[in-house]
Amino acid sequence: MYRKTEAHINLDAIRSNFALACSLAPQSKSLAVIKANAYGHGMLRVAEALQDVAPAFAVATIDEALELRKAGINNALLVLQGVTTAAACNTAASNNLTLVVHTPEQVEGLIEAGVSVPVWLKIDTGMHRLGLAPGDFADARKRLAAGGIDVQVACTHFACADELDGDATRQQLESFNAATSDLDLPRSIANSAGVLAWPESHAQWNRPGYMLYGSSPFAVDVVTARELRPAMTLRSEIIAIRAVPTGESVGYGARWTAERPSIIGTVAIGYADGYPRHAQNGTPTLVNGKLAPLAGTVSMDAITVDLTGHDNARVGDSVELWGSGIAVNAVAAAAGTIGYQLLTGVSSRVPRTYF
C-alpha cells in the first residue's frame, strides 16, 4: 500500500459495543444490524467478529444476505426491506432467510409464491415510510398463516427516538402496543436510540445498528452512550507543507484566507475517499494528536489544514480525520450531515485494516 489513507477498524470495539447493547436490555435478544457494508466497516469481517455472540444479523437487501451466506455465515439473517418477486421469495427460502413484510403487495406476493419462509411483519406506527397500517396487521397475519407462512415477530421502526424531549416516540409506542396487544407474538421495536435511551421499547428482539460502530445517535450527552467505543479511525498523512502569507487564499474558490502568516499542510484524502465535500473551514483534524482545523475547500483527493503553531509537523506525519480522537459526529456536524453518512460513505479506494 503506497498511499497512507486507510480506515483502521477495531473489531474488539464492535464486540464491546454489541455487549453493551445486550447488557442494556438483558431480557431481550439483540440482533446486529450490519447492512450497508456494516455501516462502512466491512460486513463480512464484522459478521465474522460477531457470529459467536449475535443470534442473528440484519441486512437491508437480499443481495447482502446472499453475500453473507456465500461467505459461510450461518447465523439467522433478517432482510429488512423484504423482497418483491417470486424468484426472490424462492431464493430467500432456499437460503434460510427471514423476510420483513411491510406492504400488502408483499403479503400477496409471498402467498402467491407458495414458499415457506419465516417473516417479521412490520407496522407503520407513524414514520410513514414502510409498514402495514395498524388496522391491517391482524388480517395480514391471518392471510400469511393460511398460506403456510410463519409470522415470527411483529415489528416497527422509530422516526424520532434520537430526540429525547419529544412525544413522537411515545406516540409510536402507544400505537404499536395498541396494534399488538391482542396478538401472541414476539415484538421488535428498539433501534440504537431505543436501546440506549428508551427502555420501554426493549422487547423480545432489539435491533442495534449505529451504536455497534461506536457512535451515539444523539446530539446531546446520554449517559449510556458514554461507554461506546469508536470502531473506525480514518487516517491519512501530510503530503506537502507550505507557508501562506497574510491575505493569500487556499484551495478551490479561495474560501479560506490567511489572517496571519500561516503554515498549511496538504493531506491525502478528499471527497473521492468519502471525506465530506461540504466540511467547513475549522472542521477538526488531528496532526500528531494536536488540533489542525480544515482550511479551504475539500477537493477530490486532498484537503488542506492549518498547521500554524505545529512547529514539529513534517511531511509524512499521520492525520486523524475521525475516530478515537475526533468523533465522527463532530465532523458530520461541520459538514451539515450525520455520522451515518460519513461512515457508510468511506469509499472502496480506502483500504480497511482490521485489528
pLDDT tens digits along 30-60 = 999 999 999 999 999 999 999 999 999 999 9
Determine what percent of the chain is predicted with pLDDT higher than 70: 100
Short-list 274, 277, 239, CA closest to 350:
274
Q: What domains sit in the chain, N to C, each tagged with a CATH number?
A: 31-213 (3.20.20.10), 232-354 (2.40.37.10)
Could you tell me the pTM of the whole model? 0.96
> Is the pLDDT assigned to residue 181 strictly greater than 90?
no
Work out the pLDDT band at 2, boundaries 50, 70, 90: confident
**What's the mean pLDDT in 144-170?**
95
- Phi/psi for 120 (5° steps) reads -105, 130
pLDDT tens digits along 247-301 = 999 999 999 999 999 999 999 999 999 999 999 999 999 999 999 999 999 999 9
Cell triple for 85 = 418477486
Cell triple for 174 = 402507544
Interatomic CA distance for residues 272 and 269, integer angstroms: 8
Residues involved in catalysis: 35, 252
- Helix, coil or strand: residue 145: helix
DSSP element (H, E) containing 121: strand 119-122
Say what the pLDDT of residue 37 is.
98
Calculate ∠ Cα 217-221-224, nearest 5°: 75
pLDDT tens digits along 118-145 = 999 999 999 999 999 999 999 999 999 9
**What's the mean pLDDT in 63-84?**
97
Work out the pLDDT band at 1, boundaries 50, 70, 90: low
Residues 6+ apart with CB under 8 A from 83: 62, 89, 91, 92, 99, 106, 109
Please state, rounded to an integer, the average pLDDT across all residues of the chain. 96
Calculate ∠ Cα 47-52-58, nearest 5°: 40
Say what the pLDDT of residue 313 is.
96
Instruction: Give the DSSP letter of residue 210.
Output: G
Interatomic CA distance for residues 13 and 15, integer angstroms: 5
Interatomic CA distance for residues 10 and 15, integer angstroms: 9
CB burial string 44-70: b at 16+ within 10 A, e below: bbbbbbbbeebebbbbebbebbbbbee
pLDDT tens digits along 106-125 = 999 999 998 889 999 999 99
Sort residue 201 into left (φ over 0), alpha (ψ -120 to 50) or beta: alpha
pLDDT tens digits along 5-32 = 999 999 999 999 999 999 999 999 999 9
Say what the pLDDT of residue 6 is.
97
